[in-house]
């Protein structure tokens, strides 16, 4: 803004805006409106609500002057000053309304020790060397209707599959493994494999845990597991695949096991990194930003992402994940006239993805990957879990052209970045487990729930479920696509978390588990946030392959806009 015909003031910031306002108001142009504006600004101080009132008042004054017309040169200069002041007021109000706070939730030991510097994407020079590969995309498919018989068949198939995986694991590690049918009475301990459940339609507790076998090997027997309270380390939840070791007894109440040991899931080998992949880091970290993409508040008001986009332009991360639901079917279903009030939903999606495309097209962001992850509650998806990408061939979004660095991912999806395999889902897989779990010790509930995603080889280990309704709809014909193949077990798990938790990171099985943001629909007074993940490079080593050591490398930062 040119306030005196030739002098261009420095760029407006929170540090200099007061001085610029004062300089503008003390200019040689004398105009009663300036004096009035100065007194109003002085009176309100830092009150943001009153600032908005001043803003509206000034707009009305300018409209009035425009209606009268500015015939003289002096009048035109006055209007120029007034317009500039209005812009400054708006900028000052916007900055007061949204204050960015960045909170370090975890600093990686490599960073803490000073061996590696924590750097935003804009501060690194390794983006051009980054490798980014999407793996195992979910194809479009015809959804199958699952009746009780189909669900039972899926349950039997999964028990058989995991029984064989457990046998294979034991053989590979030289562990004696002689699995017996569930109904196998002996004076000595025996080991059987099955699916954890509960007696009756009630939450799981130490007294009602059961294990269910297959209809072929175990003749459909379901046995109660007792003595759980005496075990040191327990994590049990409905749908879990587990081996139980103990004495098998039968009385008038049925078959039961007096457990001496529980083996939950299939342990995985530690993730390894190749020297070739490590070289892509160029001794600098990679920076990943995760954005919750909910476009409407609980009352169906639009959510602004301007401050998020501005931060992305400032930081230039290596990868940005936008996670759905973008418009949730739950939001529309709750409000009877919601559809009529919000208008064309397809347009809402297209407009937001167009904004992302404009961002991705900026020259300074051409090295950043923008990844769009759907949710099974997304209005435009039409698929249960697993979900194809939102721009699949049958989608209304397919006809739109997107920049090459905009990527549509499946849900769940797999992305390999510099050799690190990320498993990504926009759903909340942990809360459903942790809220209906027998966990000893109880304070490790979240950690144990995260660990089970690895040991059960799935973001959704409770499925298939014989109890309806379940939290998420699942296509039982595609159930295997929800499980991780042996050569595609993620190194880093990214997912939504419960509404009561801030972002967190846990480590188990030498993997990282990052809960990124709340899965709940935002209230009217929405507080925007992003989760920033930094993965430090490993120290230079000539070893061709080595442990990935993620616990030493992962930092987590919460970016929070207050106001």
Angle between helical axes of 73-97 and 48-68 (0-180°, round to 10): 160
For the stretch 26-67, pLDDT in tens is 555 556 776 777 777 777 655 555 666 776 777 677 666 655
* Count of other CB atoms within 10 angstroms of residue 2: 12
Domain 148-264 in CATH 2.40.50? The answer is yes
**pTM for this model (two decimals):** 0.82
For the stretch 369-413, pLDDT in tens is 999 999 999 999 989 999 999 998 777 788 789 999 999 999 999
Annotated domain spans of the chain: 17-97, 100-143+268-562, 148-264
For the stretch 67-99, pLDDT in tens is 565 555 555 556 566 656 655 555 555 545 568
For the stretch 179-199, pLDDT in tens is 999 988 888 899 999 999 998
Question: For residue 23, what pLDDT is reported?
Answer: 57
Helices then strands (H, E): number in the chain? 13, 22
Question: For residue 331, what pLDDT is reported?
Answer: 76
What HEC string does 511-529 produce?
EEEEEEEECCCCCCCCCCE
CATH class (in words) of the domain with range 100-143+268-562: alpha beta
For the stretch 494-523, pLDDT in tens is 999 875 568 999 999 999 999 998 766 555
Question: For residue 413, what pLDDT is reported?
Answer: 98
Instruction: Give the DSSP H/E element, type plus range, for residue 106.
Output: strand 99-106
Q: What mean pLDDT value characterizes the chain?
A: 85
How many residues comprise the chain?
563
For the stretch 289-333, pLDDT in tens is 999 988 988 778 888 898 899 999 999 999 999 999 999 888 776
Does the pLDDT of residue 552 top 50, yes or no? yes
How far apart (Å, rounded) are the C-alpha atoms in residues 312 and 117? 20
């Amino acid at each position: 803004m040119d306030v005196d015909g030739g002098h261009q003031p420095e760029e407006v910031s929170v540090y200099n805006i007061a001085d610029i306002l004062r300089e503008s108001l003390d200019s040689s142009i004398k105009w009663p409106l300036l004096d009035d504006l100065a007194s109003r600004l002085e009176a309100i101080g830092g009150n943001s609500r009153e600032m908005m009132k001043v803003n509206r008042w000034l707009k009305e004054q300018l409209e009035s002057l425009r209606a009268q017309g500015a015939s003289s040169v002096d009048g035109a200069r006055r209007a120029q000053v007034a317009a500039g002041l209005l812009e400054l007021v708006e900028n000052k109000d916007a900055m007061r309304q949204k204050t960015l706070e960045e909170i370090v939730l975890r600093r990686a030991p490599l960073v803490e020790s000073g061996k590696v510097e924590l750097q935003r994407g804009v501060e690194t020079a390794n983006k051009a060397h980054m490798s980014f590969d999407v793996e195992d995309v979910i194809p479009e498919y015809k959804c199958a209707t699952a009746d009780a018989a189909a669900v039972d068949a899926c349950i039997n198939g999964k028990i058989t599959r995991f029984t064989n995986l457990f046998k294979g694991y034991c053989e590979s590690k030289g562990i004696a493994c002689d699995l017996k049918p569930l109904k196998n009475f002996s004076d000595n301990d025996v080991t059987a494999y099955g699916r954890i459940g509960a007696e009756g339609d009630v939450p799981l507790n130490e007294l009602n845990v059961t294990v269910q076998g297959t209809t072929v090997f175990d003749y459909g027997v379901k046995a109660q597991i007792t003595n759980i309270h005496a075990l040191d380390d327990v994590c049990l939840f409905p749908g879990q695949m587990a081996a139980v070791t103990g004495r098998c007894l039968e009385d008038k109440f049925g078959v039961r096991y007096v457990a001496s040991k529980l083996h939950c899931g299939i342990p995985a080998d530690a993730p390894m990194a190749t020297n070739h992949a490590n070289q892509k880091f160029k001794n600098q970290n990679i920076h990943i930003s995760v954005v919750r993409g909910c476009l409407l508040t609980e009352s169906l008001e639009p959510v602004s992402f301007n401050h998020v986009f501005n931060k992305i332009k400032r930081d230039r991360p290596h990868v940005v994940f936008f996670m759905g639901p973008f418009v949730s079917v739950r939001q529309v279903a709750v409000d009877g006239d919601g559809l009529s009030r919000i208008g064309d939903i397809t347009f809402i999606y297209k407009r937001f993805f167009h904004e992302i495309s404009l961002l991705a097209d900026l020259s300074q962001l051409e090295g950043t990957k923008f990844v769009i992850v759907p949710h099974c509650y997304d209005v435009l998806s039409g698929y249960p879990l697993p979900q194809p990408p939102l721009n699949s061939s049958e989608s209304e979004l397919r006809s739109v052209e997107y920049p090459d660095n905009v990527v549509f991912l499946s849900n769940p999806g797999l992305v390999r970045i510099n050799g690190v395999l990320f498993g990504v889902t926009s759903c909340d897989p942990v809360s459903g487990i942790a809220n209906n779990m027998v966990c000893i010790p109880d304070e490790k509930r979240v950690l144990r729930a995260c660990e089970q995603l690895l040991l059960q080889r799935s973001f959704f280990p409770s499925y298939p479920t014989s109890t309806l309704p379940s939290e998420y709809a699942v296509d039982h014909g595609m159930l295997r696509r929800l499980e991780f193949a042996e050569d595609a077990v993620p190194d880093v798990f990214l997912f939504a978390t419960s509404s009561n938790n801030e972002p967190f990171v846990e480590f188990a099985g030498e993997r990282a588990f990052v809960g990124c943001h709340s899965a709940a629909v935002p209230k009217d007074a929405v507080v925007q946030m992003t989760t920033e993940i930094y993965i430090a490079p490993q120290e230079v080593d000539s070893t061709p392959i080595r442990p990935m050591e993620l616990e030493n490398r992962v930092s987590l930062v919460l970016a929070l806009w207050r106001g």
